[in-house]
Amino acid sequence: MPEQRQVILNAAAPTNKPMGARKEQNIRASFPSSPIHNGDLSDEERKKAFQELVMTGIVLNGKGINSYDRDFNGNPQNPVPNLEDVETGGGGLPASPYVPNLASPGPGSVSAADQPVYNGELPNPELNVEFGSGMGGLVSPHETTPNIANQSILRNYISGRSYKGSDGKA
């Protein structure tokens, strides 16, 4: 998060007018019908609109996605994933909650439904730590989504974390 306020719409007028600086009067004269200048738009209005249009609610009839819950709430047809509930095995199922089925479906087939159970050695997910910080790759989405859903564009974010406590510390 930057330490200084970032410009959204309303830039601060320069005080000493060096060469090349904006002249508010000329900008308003050049764009007299702009909603920025007539008061229809403001930084606060844009933040509120972004929160409503991008950060919260359910998208219905999206482009290629029937619906998407921006608040990460699950439903009976599409629950929030729980890695402990992932079914593994053959027939296109993953080899583990963290690894896809690596077994070939066999000669003449390209169908995942024909995959046997993968019997190879899988890496221990507790030892296979990826780059970055945080709670690690073993935390299940059903544990993290409530905290992600509570985020707001209007809040202060914490540098290097998704939310308070996501670094594994209180």
Mean pLDDT is highest, among 3-12, 65-74, 81-90, 140-149, for 81-90
Domain ranges of the chain: 81-122
- Residue where the block lists tokens 């402990």: 84
Closest CA to 103 of 124, 66, 141, 111: 111
Q: Each residue of 1-31: pLDDT tens digit?
A: 456 667 777 666 666 767 777 777 888 899 8
For the question of whether the overall pTM of this predicted structure is more than 0.75, the answer is no
pLDDT of residue 63: 76
Structure confidence by residue, pLDDT tens digits, 94-152: 999 989 999 999 999 999 999 999 999 998 877 766 655 667 677 888 888 887 777 77
Residue whose C-alpha is closest to residue 85's, from 142, 127, 168, 137: 142
pLDDT at 93 over 90: yes
